[in-house]
A and B are shown apart, each in its own frame.
Chain A
Amino acid sequence: MTEPWSPSLRELDRRRVRRQQRARSILISSLAILLVFAGLTGLLVSSPGWDRFRETFFDWHHAQESFPSIRDGFWLNVKLFLLCEVAILVLGLAVALARTARSPLLAPFRLLAVLYVDVFRGVPTVLLILLLGFGVPALNLQGLTDDRYFWAGVALVLSYGAYVAEVYRAGIESIHPSQVASAEALALSRAQTLRFVVVPQAVRRVAPPLLNDFISLQKDTALVSVVAVFDAVFAARDYTGYTFNYTPYVVVSVFFIAITIPLARFTDWLGRRALQRERAGVR
C-alpha cells in the first residue's frame, strides 16, 4: 500500500469555504425567520381588538379550569381514532381489492365496492355521523347497541374507508404492469401476485397519503360531538356555555396539534426513509 491519503491544502481551503457558506446560510435563515415572525406577532398584537381577543381566547384561568374535562374528553377522541384507524385500513384494502378483482365470480363484490365508494365519499362525514348516531338507535333493533359513541365511530370508518380504498387502489394501479408480468411468468396466481408482489409495493408507495388521511381522521374525531358524545370538543362547548369564554376551544386545538404534529413529522420521516432505501445512489 502507498501512504495513507491526506487532504491537500487546496482541499482544506475548499472545506473552509464550504463551512463559511454553511454558516452564512444558517445566519441568513435565522434572521429571516426572526424578522417574519416578529412582523406577524407585531401585526397581531397591534390589531385594534387585540385586548378583547386575548381575554376571550387566551385566558389562563379558564384554560386551567377547563383543562381536566377536556383532557378526559380527549382520551375518548384518541381511543376512537386508534380503533377506527385499524378498521379503516382493513376495510379500505378489502374494498380496493374488490374493485381491482377480475374474477367473474367476484363481480357482485366489485359492484358493491364501486357503489360503496361513490355513496360514502359523496356524503359529508358530519351527516353520516348524525344519520348513524341518532338513526340506528332509533330503529330499536334487537341485538344492536344504541351507543351513540359506537355508531359515530362506525360512521367515521365508513366515510374514511371509502377515501382510503381509493388511495390503496391508486397505489395498486401505479405498480408497473411488468411487475405483474414477471410474477405471472413465475406461475403465481392472480391472488398470489397481488398478495406477494403488487400490494406490498403499493402499500409502501401510498404510505404517505394514507398517513395524511389519518391526520385528517384524528381531527375529524371532533365531529362526534354533534351526536352529544362527551369528547374534547363537546367538553369545551359545555364549558363555554356556562362561562361565555372561548379559551377552551384554544385548549382543544392545542391538544389536537400536540398529537398531529408528531404524526406529521413521523410521516415525513417514513417517506424519506423509503425513498432513501429504494433510490439509494440514483440521481
Chain B
Amino acid sequence: MTPLLEITDVRKTYGDRVVLDDVTLSVQPHDVVCLIGSSGSGKSTLLRCLNLLEDIDDGVIRFEGYEITDPRVDPREVRQRMGMVFQAYNLFPHLSVLDNCTLAPRRVHGLSRAAAEDRARELLTTFGLAEHMTKHPDRLSGGQQQRVALVRALCTQPQLLLLDEITAALDPELTGEVLAIVRDLAERGTTMVLATHEMSFAREVATTVCFLSEGRILEQGPPAEIFTAPREERTRQFLRRVLPQ
C-alpha cells in the first residue's frame, strides 16, 4: 500500500536555529501517529510544515503520492484535502458555530448552503454540540470550542487530520471530552497526525509513536515498544518525567 503521507529528510530552520533536522516519517491510511517530546522539540513546526503553513528548507513531503513541497504546487489544493486543529482553537469569533463549520465547505469546496449546513449539523450533533449551533464561539467552554474546531476541520472531509496539542489549553475533564472524540475518529479509520502531551492517550490510540528531541525523530515505533522498551536514553529520560510512576 502506498503511504498517504511520506516525509523524507525534512529540514526547517529559523535563521541559525535548526528546528527540524532530517525528519523522516511515513503515514499509512488509517494510521494514528502521535508526536511526543518536550516543548520546542519541533512537533508543532512539523505539523505546520505538513500543512504548508511553513516552507521547508530541505527534504520532501509527499501526500497521496504527490510531492507537495514543490513550489509550483498550490498550497490551497493541498489544504483542501487536509484538516488542521490548533491548540488555541482559532475559531472565528464573529461567526456562529454553524457558520464557522460551513465557511470552508461553502466558499472553498463549493457546497450549497443547505448541503454544508446539513453536514455540519450532523457532525455537531454527533459530537454533542447540537444545542450550541447558533451561538458564537466565545459563549462556549474551552472543551466545547475545541470540539467545534474539530468539527470545522471534519466538515471539509479531509483525508488527513493534523492536530496540534489540541488539549493543551484544557483542564483534565474537558481534555477527556475532546479526546473521546479523537478516539472515536481513530476507531472510524480517520488518518491523523497529532502532537500531544497525553501519554496514556497516545499509548492507547496511536498506531505509531514518534519521540522528537531537538528537531529530530529520535525513535519511532508502536506504542507498546516506545513506552515499555525505549531504545534511546533520551526517550527513557523523557518518559520518566512525564509518566506517572
Does B69 touch A at the CB level, under 8 Å?
yes
User: Residue on A with the closest CB to B48?
Assistant: A283
Does B95 touch A at the CB level, under 8 Å?
no
Give the contacts of B57-109 with A (CB-CB under 8 A). Answer: 57-60, 69-72
Identify which of B18, B53, B57, B72 contacts A11 (C-beta below 8 A): B57
Report whether B71 and A7 are in contact in the complex, using a CB–CB cutoff of 8 Å: no
Report whether B11 and A5 are in contact in the complex, using a CB–CB cutoff of 8 Å: yes
Report whether A14 and B59 are in contact in the complex, using a CB–CB cutoff of 8 Å: no
**Residues in A whose Cβ lies below 8 Å from that of B59:** 8, 10-11
Q: How far is it, in angstroms, between the C-alpha of A18 and the C-alpha of B11 when the chains are bound?
A: 17
**Residues in B whose Cβ lies below 8 Å from that of A11:** 57-59
A5-B11, A11-B58 are contacts. A17–B53 as well, Cβ < 8 Å?
no
Report whether A17 and B70 are in contact in the complex, using a CB–CB cutoff of 8 Å: yes
**Residues in A whose Cβ lies below 8 Å from that of B11:** 5
User: Residue on B with the closest CB to A12?
Assistant: B58
Q: How far is it, in angstroms, between the C-alpha of A8 and the C-alpha of B57 when the chains are bound?
A: 10
Question: What is the size, in residues, of chain A's interface with B at 8 Å between Cβ atoms?
Answer: 10
Q: How far is it, in angstroms, between the C-alpha of A5 and the C-alpha of B69 when the chains are bound?
A: 19
User: Residue on A with the closest CB to B67?
Assistant: A10
Q: How far is it, in angstroms, between the C-alpha of A52 and the C-alpha of B59 when the chains are bound?
A: 65
Report whether A14 and B70 are in contact in the complex, using a CB–CB cutoff of 8 Å: yes
User: Residue on A with the closest CB to B54?
Assistant: A283
State the Cβ distance, B54 to closest chain A Cβ, in Å. 9
Does B9 touch A at the CB level, under 8 Å?
yes
Report whether B9 and A14 are in contact in the complex, using a CB–CB cutoff of 8 Å: no
Report whether A14 and B53 are in contact in the complex, using a CB–CB cutoff of 8 Å: no
Give the contacts of A1-22 with B (CB-CB under 8 A). Answer: 5, 7-8, 10-11, 14, 17-18, 21
State the Cβ distance, A215 to closest chain B Cβ, in Å. 29
Report whether B9 and A8 are in contact in the complex, using a CB–CB cutoff of 8 Å: yes
Q: How far is it, in angstroms, between the C-alpha of A120 and the C-alpha of B198 when the chains are bound?
A: 60
Q: How far is it, in angstroms, between the C-alpha of A10 and the C-alpha of B56 when the chains are bound?
A: 12
State the Cβ distance, A218 to closest chain B Cβ, in Å. 35
Identify which of B18, B53, B58 contacts A8 (C-beta below 8 A): B58
Give the contacts of B1-47 with A (CB-CB under 8 A). Answer: 9, 11, 18
State the Cβ distance, B69 to closest chain A Cβ, in Å. 7
**Residues in A whose Cβ lies below 8 Å from that of B53:** 283
User: Residue on A with the closest CB to B11?
Assistant: A5
Q: How far is it, in angstroms, between the C-alpha of A272 and the C-alpha of B72 when the chains are bound?
A: 29
User: Residue on B with the closest CB to A21?
Assistant: B71
Q: How far is it, in angstroms, between the C-alpha of A18 and the C-alpha of B55 when the chains are bound?
A: 11
- 22 sample A-B contacts, Cβ–Cβ < 8 Å, listed by A number: A5-B11, A5-B18, A7-B57, A7-B58, A8-B9, A8-B58, A8-B59, A10-B58, A10-B59, A10-B60, A11-B57, A11-B58, A11-B59, A14-B69, A14-B71, A17-B70, A17-B71, A17-B72, A18-B71, A21-B71, A21-B72, A283-B53
Please give 6 more A-B residue pairs, beta carbons under 8 A apart, in addition to A5-B11, A10-B59, A17-B72. A5-B18, A8-B58, A10-B58, A11-B58, A17-B70, A21-B71
Spell out B's residues near A (CB within 8 Å).
9, 11, 18, 53, 57-60, 69-72
Question: What are the nearest 5 A-B pairs in CB distance?
Answer: A11-B58, A17-B71, A18-B71, A8-B58, A7-B58
